[in-house]
């Protein structure tokens, strides 16, 4: 079956612009996660969705970051007024409910000029 | 602050040798441990999970868990150049949320032909 998909695969934007990153999880997966990975660094947890609700937003770096999920499916991560330090790979993962079994998408590589 | 520590490497081994990757964690009560592999420019993929003290084998991979010493390791037997990747250790902390994983920064493994 289809895996987790993310779009766009690459995004170059100018400082101050808003960007939207999309994640399509594996069908039927109730849990969805967003991570950020800076070059040469580990995975930084951003937010977790169970269904359409986000019980844990503790990893969002600032109020410029927001995310939503609709229909217990697609999720969108929005970064407003992008800054150069937002440049990273943004990874989405979904899980059928077993916490460790996370399936990752290919990521969106964001470059803020 | 709960932490997962890994030697960043690079760990370099010759083809056919055993590669040993180690991970320590700070929460003694943690119950679930995972190893993910991440090829350069790709997203992480789950390769092993372990929940009980001792060894768990899957093909050329063996995960070892020692809860008393708070470490988990991954052995790769008969290492192949295709095993060259960054290996991420992930831990689900005890109590609190039952969904969140904390990832180490990863160990870069290079298998030389």
- C-alpha–C-alpha distance, residues B32 and B94, integer Å: 8
Percent of chain A with pLDDT over 90: 73
- Contact (CB<8Å) A100/B92: yes
Is there a contact between A43 and B44 if contact means CB atoms under 8 Å apart? yes
Whether the ω angle into residue B50 lies within 30 degrees of 0, i.e. cis, is no
Closest by CA position to B74, among listed B83, B63, B85, B66: B63
Q: Which residue on chain A is closest to B35 by alpha carbon?
A: A100
**Phi-psi category of residue B83: left, alpha or beta, with phi > 0 → left and psi -120 to 50 → alpha:** alpha
Of A42, A48, A107, the CB nearest to B99: A48
pLDDT score of A58: 85
Q: Could you report the per-residue pLDDT of A46-89, keeping only the tens digit for each?
A: 999 988 888 888 899 999 999 999 988 999 999 999 999 999 99
- Compare all CA atoms of chain A with the CA of B32 and give the residue at the minimum distance: A100
Closest CA to A65 of A43, A42, A88: A88
Which of B37, B49, B50, B45 lies closest to B79, judged by CA? B37
Q: For B45-76, write each residue's pLDDT tens digit.
A: 999 999 989 999 999 999 999 999 999 999 99
């Amino acid at each position: 079956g289809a895996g987790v998909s993310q779009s766009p695969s690459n995004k170059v934007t100018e400082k101050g612009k808003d960007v939207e990153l999309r994640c399509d999880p594996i069908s039927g997966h109730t849990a969805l996660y967003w991570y950020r990975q800076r070059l040469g660094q580990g995975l930084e947890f951003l937010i977790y969705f169970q269904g359409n609700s986000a019980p844990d937003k503790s990893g969002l770096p600032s109020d410029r970051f927001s995310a939503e999920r609709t229909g217990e499916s697609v999720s969108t991560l929005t970064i407003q007024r992008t800054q150069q330090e937002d440049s990273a790979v943004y990874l989405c993962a979904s899980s059928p409910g077993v916490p460790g079994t996370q399936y990752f998408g290919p990521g969106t590589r964001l470059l803020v000029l | 602050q709960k932490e997962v520590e890994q030697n960043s490497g690079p760990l370099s081994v010759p083809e056919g040798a055993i590669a040993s990757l180690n991970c320590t964690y700070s929460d003694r009560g943690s119950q679930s441990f995972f190893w993910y592999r991440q090829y350069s420019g790709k997203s992480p993929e789950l390769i092993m999970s372990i929940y009980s003290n001792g060894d768990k084998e899957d093909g050329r991979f063996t995960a070892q868990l020692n809860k008393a010493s708070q470490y988990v390791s991954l052995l790769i037997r008969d290492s192949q150049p295709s095993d060259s990747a960054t290996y991420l250790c992930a831990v689900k902390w005890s109590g609190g949320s039952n969904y969140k994983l904390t990832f180490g920064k990863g160990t870069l493994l290079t298998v030389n032909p």
